Amino acid sequence: MKEKPLGSMPGIPTAIALVLVLMASVWLLLTSLAGGSLAGQVCGVLLIIGTVFCNKGFFMVEPNQSAVLSLFGEYVGTVKDQGLRFQNPFYRPRKVSLRVRNFESGKLKVNELEGSPIEIASVVVWKVLDSAEAVYNVDDYESFVHIQAESALRAMATAYPYDPTAEHPVALRSHANEISHDLAHQLSERLNQAGIEVLEARISHLAYAPEIAGAMLQRQQAGAIIAARERLVEGAVGMVQLALNALSAKGVVELDNERRAQMVSNLLVVLCSDRATQPVVNAGSLY
């Protein structure tokens, strides 16, 4: 059911007109009672009853709010004009907020793509785009948003690994923008039928489950150490090659294969060692 714009009358001029009609009705009733006119008395009473009944047609619409009107269960239209408004007294208005709202989902425990249990939560920013769909297509659109947000978060978390791998380079921890776009897209598909627009969806909490957090931390530390070692060895090899080339080019010393290998070994030990090395100075002959 799509939203249909519906006009309404300004409330203050209408209220003034009804007050004048009520005063005229009272005057008519009093004069009819004094003059003994039965028809005047009936008209005065009917006008008073009708004027009082018309007060049910007033309703207030605040900024960024809409009023969904129905007549005996049938949708009539939506009024978005601000202020005090007046419509058919038989219409039943239902207020719907069009303001931007947000909420943070609870921490969900799910298994990511590789099967490791993780804890994940998200922040969703949304607003009502179609008041009629929000009121009539779902039972409670606020509860619908919360439940669908958790469902979309679970589905998204199981589609990506926690850390990037060769087979799956896009991961939850390393690609926040891509993950946010995917989550917002999934939420939009789920909430479209309720007239809800998703403005933003981002992960607010991401961590391994407590039972495997220690083991995963050790794995991350081991990976960091290996990467640092690879970088260190690569740099050390380059420095050794540069030193040997410089010695040969400037003719500082001529080394045979055995002495060259020994020098390479000593330089690599010095450059790749975790601790400061203690050099031994050779005061005698090189050979």
Let me know if residue 200 belongs to a domain: yes
Interval 69-77 mean pLDDT: 91
Give the Cα-Cα-Cα angle 144, 97, 142 (nearest 5 degrees): 10
Interval 218-241 mean pLDDT: 74
Let me know if residue 119 belongs to a domain: yes
Let me know if residue 286 belongs to a domain: no
Let me know if residue 2 belongs to a domain: no
My answer on whether 75 and 25 are in the same domain is yes
Tell me how far CA of residue 16 lies from CA of 30, 55, 82, 142, 149, in angstroms.
21, 12, 18, 38, 48
Provide the residue range defining the domain that includes 108.
Answer: 101-208
My answer on whether 170 and 201 are in the same domain is yes
Output the domain CATH number for residue 166: 3.30.479.30
Q: Which residue has the higher pLDDT, 267 or 205?
A: 205
Question: Is residue 283's pLDDT more than 60?
Answer: no
Q: Which residue has the higher pLDDT, 238 or 80?
A: 80
Domain total in the chain: 3
Question: Is residue 4's pLDDT more than 80?
Answer: yes
Query: What are the tokens at 244?
Result: 């040997």
Let me know if residue 51 belongs to a domain: yes
Interval 232-253 mean pLDDT: 75
My answer on whether 221 and 136 are in the same domain is no
Q: Give the confidence band of 127 by pLDDT, cuts at 50, 70, 90.
A: very high
Between 75-79, 237-241, 278-282, the lowest mean confidence (pLDDT) is in 278-282
Task: Decide: 126 and 198 in contact? Cβ < 8 Å.
Answer: yes
> Per-residue pLDDT tens for 22-32?
898 888 888 88
My answer on whether 143 and 76 are in the same domain is no
Let me know if residue 277 belongs to a domain: no
> Per-residue pLDDT tens for 43-53?
888 888 988 89
Q: Give the confidence band of 145 by pLDDT, cuts at 50, 70, 90.
A: very high
Which of 97, 113, 139 terminates a domain? The answer is 97
Q: Give the confidence band of 273 by pLDDT, cuts at 50, 70, 90.
A: low
Let me know if residue 267 belongs to a domain: yes
Q: Which helix (H) or strand (E) holds 120?
A: strand 117-128
Nearest to 4 by CA among 58, 71, 56: 71
Please tell me the predicted confidence (pLDDT) of residue 68: 93
My answer on whether 106 and 200 are in the same domain is yes
My answer on whether 191 and 219 are in the same domain is no
Question: Is residue 128's pLDDT more than 90?
Answer: yes
**Amino acid letter for position 45:** V
Please tell me the predicted confidence (pLDDT) of residue 233: 78
Q: Give the confidence band of 90 by pLDDT, cuts at 50, 70, 90.
A: very high
Let me know if residue 222 belongs to a domain: yes
Interval 45-62 mean pLDDT: 90
Q: How many CB atoms lie within 10 A of CB 190?
A: 19
Q: Which residue has the higher pLDDT, 177 or 256?
A: 177
Which of 44, 77, 97 terminates a domain? The answer is 97
My answer on whether 75 and 158 are in the same domain is no
**Amino acid letter for position 231:** R
My answer on whether 204 and 218 are in the same domain is no
My answer on whether 106 and 195 are in the same domain is yes
Q: Give the confidence band of 253 by pLDDT, cuts at 50, 70, 90.
A: low
My answer on whether 175 and 123 are in the same domain is yes
CA atoms of 34 and 70, how far apart (whole Å): 43
User: pLDDT averaged over the chain?
Assistant: 83
Which of 157, 177, 208 terminates a domain? The answer is 208
My answer on whether 184 and 111 are in the same domain is yes
Question: Is residue 278's pLDDT more than 70?
Answer: no
Q: Which residue has the higher pLDDT, 210 or 10?
A: 10
My answer on whether 77 and 108 are in the same domain is no
Question: Is residue 207's pLDDT more than 60?
Answer: yes
Q: Give the confidence band of 230 by pLDDT, cuts at 50, 70, 90.
A: confident
Please tell me the predicted confidence (pLDDT) of residue 274: 64
Instruction: Return the DSSP state at 98.
Output: -
